[in-house]
Amino acid sequence: MPHKLPKGFTPYIITESLGAFNDNFFKMLLQLYILVIVAIKAPEELISIATLVFTIPFVIFGPWAGYLADKFSKTKMMQVIKVFEILIMAAGVWAFYIGNINYLIFVLFLMATQSAFFSPCKAGFIPESCSAELITKANSLKGMSTFVSIILGTALGGILLASFDNRIVLVSALCIIFAKLGTISSFFITKTPTTGTNKKFPLNFVKGIFKDLIYLKKQRGLFLAALASSYFWLLGLVFQTNILVYGTTHLGLTQNDNALLSILPAAMGIGIALGSLLASRWSGNKIEIGLLPLGGAGLCLSGILLFLFSQNYYFTLGILFFAGISGGLYIIPLDAYLQFNADEKSTGRVIATAGVMSGGFLVLGSLLYRLLAVELGLSPAAIYLVMGILTALVTIYICTIIPEYFLRFLNWLLSHTFYKIKIIGADNLPLQGPALLCPNHVSFVDSLLISATTQRFVKFILFKKFYEIFGIRQICNILEAIPIAPYEGRESVMNSLNQAKALLSRGELLCIFPEGALTRDGEMKEFKTGLETIMADQSCPIIPAYMDNLWGSIFSFETGKAFWKLPKKIPYPVTIIYGEPLPSNASAQEVRDAVEKLRLGFENSKAS
């Protein structure tokens, strides 16, 4: 299985980064033109209008963009769209030359249209060109490079404008050069095949939007992920739109401080770039959706801090940097989740529909900013407070309707704070389709540690007395865990095993601890034949697994008791080894032998 990004991935990053740079360079020039050069009174109103105009194409052109991304090669589409960017940037330079703000706003609309068509192509390129375990890494690199480009575009817009004495036509002409460079690099991107969707072209984009939304809503996981992603773009729009006005209102920056003004959004961009890298590092080779609540909490705190500490320029930079880190942790897992779980022939459609939802939320964000800043007359600091509180409510709501996100977060926190997990043989875990995991059973947190090694939501068979503990039962119900109670007789056990069969038939990843109980002496016991009953008439693989070094941890029965002892080390090192898949008709003894073979092989490797 390939573990390296394709050769053409670097030109892809360059192309995407130059596009992001150009968009933000031009938008920063436009905002500074309104705020400083023309110095329009009540700039919030014009900025809110420009923001609304920029968001509309993402909504109305989404179905067309998704269709074209699925109909033709995504690489070819990116090349064609980049050519149009050159023409649009030339129109922008002309608009600055004649000094027509309405024309500039129309150019902004064209830029957004170009981005709306480019978006499903650039996002759909990743799952088509990268192996599954590299999707999070690829998205993190894309996210980091994108936001570095946003930083540079935003910062250089103000710096160059100040350096050239506000000669905006001269500075804006650079946009044409950057567009040409991006177009050239696009012709070196790895070629992707034409997926050839059978869907008809959605000429009626309104009807197309509704059909695509209905299609996405039927896939609950994808729809909710797109919804969570859409709120991020709403929040980002309000944060970014509010930054420059915040700088002039609260930090006392003036027309002589263009460079300092442009550094404010750049600080947030640097943070998002770092947050993207952290998301990749903390996710490992999987998609860790549990990072979303952590990012949401950070964004909430940032909004509140910007309200409380609105007088110090450098403290504001620090808060915006922290907000950016939180944003990267929030959005990168969602992007990877959407790309990985979308059907291969409908990737463009799914991403474009998610883009339509994001576009809709961007429109809501622009209207919300207008309501807060213009209609209600709230100060920029108060707007950040409102957005911080709103983000807290949204994060709580997301964790309520998608509790798996919050449970993944708690599990991630446990496995990255108190434990240090080394995974061997991760390639043996199927990324899709049914399989039965069969590990040895050493501690009360074995199921949590197993869950932390894969991006999939693992279903577990648990001892019923443990399942019925208050608090545990509620969590197990969310995770569809199956309680089993041998003491209740054969009929009860068969009912549990039949539930397990149903989960496998549904394509789930199921885990059973075949020993039937925690080890009391550190030795692996006989495997029960319940796994044979589960796998009868099944064709999916059995994955043997060995959990090393858990004997002696807090939650094991070393010294005869669990829990009531101090940890020997924090983080506690644990190794989990997955063996090669066994056939579905493997006996319990054969599975145990496979787990024992993993143990002996690992012990020998440590000894050598």
Q: Where are the alpha helices (DSSP H) in 284-346?
A: 291-308, 313-341
Residue 4 resides in a domain: no
Q: What percent of the chain has pLDDT over 90?
A: 31
Q: Are strands 542-548 and 435-439 parallel, antiparallel or unpaired?
A: parallel
pLDDT at residue number 40: 57
Residue 271 resides in a domain: yes
Q: Which two tokens stand for residue 54?
A: 């920029």
Let me know whether 382 and 503 are in one domain: no
Q: Which two tokens stand for residue 69?
A: 């991304």
Range name among 4-13, 216-225, 471-480 with the lowest pLDDT average: 471-480
Let me know whether 595 and 486 are in one domain: yes
Last residue of a domain, one of 383, 399, 414: 414
Let me know whether 132 and 152 are in one domain: yes
Backbone angles phi, psi at 461, to 5 degrees: -100, 120
Residue 120 resides in a domain: yes
Yes or no: say if 504 and 510 are a contact pair by the CB < 8 Å rule.
yes
Tell me the whole-structure pTM to 2 decimals.
0.69
Let me know whether 291 and 309 are in one domain: yes
Residue 14 pLDDT > 70, yes or no? yes
Helix (H, G, I), strand (E, B) or coil at 516: coil
Domains: count for the chain: 2
CATH number of domain containing 368: 1.20.1250.20
Let me know whether 459 and 358 are in one domain: no
Let me know whether 243 and 202 are in one domain: yes
Let me know whether 325 and 453 are in one domain: no
What is the band of 599 on the pLDDT scale with cuts at 50, 70, 90?
A: very high
Let me know whether 377 and 438 are in one domain: no
Residue 2 resides in a domain: no
What is the band of 466 on the pLDDT scale with cuts at 50, 70, 90?
A: confident
Let me know whether 401 and 525 are in one domain: no
Helix (H, G, I), strand (E, B) or coil at 113: helix
Higher pLDDT among residues 434 and 159, named by residue: 434
Residue 587 pLDDT > 60, yes or no? yes
Let me know whether 454 and 405 are in one domain: no
Let me know whether 369 and 499 are in one domain: no
Average pLDDT on 300-325 reads: 91
What is the band of 41 on the pLDDT scale with cuts at 50, 70, 90?
A: low
State the SS3 of 52-97: HHHHHHHHHCHHHHHHHHHHCCHHHHHHHHHHHHHHHHHHHHHHHH
Yes or no: say if 420 and 573 are a contact pair by the CB < 8 Å rule.
yes
Residue 466 resides in a domain: yes
For the segment 254-274, what is each residue's pLDDT rounded down to a tens digit?
Answer: 767 767 877 888 788 888 888
Average pLDDT on 212-239 reads: 88
Average pLDDT on 110-133 reads: 85
Only one residue has tokens 């996710």, namely 283
Average pLDDT on 484-492 reads: 83
pLDDT at residue number 342: 74
Domain span at 311: 9-414
Mean pLDDT of the chain: 85
Give the integer Cα–Cα distance in Å for 18 and 332: 20
pLDDT at residue number 1: 42
Residue 1 resides in a domain: no
pLDDT at residue number 416: 75
Residue 3 resides in a domain: no
Higher pLDDT among residues 477 and 547, named by residue: 547
For the segment 314-334, what is each residue's pLDDT rounded down to a tens digit?
Answer: 999 999 999 999 998 898 888
Average pLDDT on 530-539 reads: 89
Average pLDDT on 477-496 reads: 82
Let me know whether 249 and 272 are in one domain: yes
pLDDT at residue number 2: 47
DSSP code of 232? H
Last residue of a domain, one of 358, 391, 414: 414
Last residue of a domain, one of 414, 447, 470: 414
CATH number of domain containing 520: 3.40.1130.10
Residue 55 pLDDT > 80, yes or no? no
What is the band of 83 on the pLDDT scale with cuts at 50, 70, 90?
A: very high
Residue 500 resides in a domain: yes
Give the integer Cα–Cα distance in Å for 246 and 391: 19
Buried b (16+ CB within 10 A) or exposed e, 519-556: beeeebbebbebbbebbeebebbbbbbbbbebbbbbbb
Helix (H, G, I), strand (E, B) or coil at 536: coil
Helices and strands (H, E) in the chain, number of each type: 22, 7
For the segment 143-189, what is each residue's pLDDT rounded down to a tens digit?
Answer: 778 877 877 887 788 788 878 888 889 999 999 999 999 999 999 99
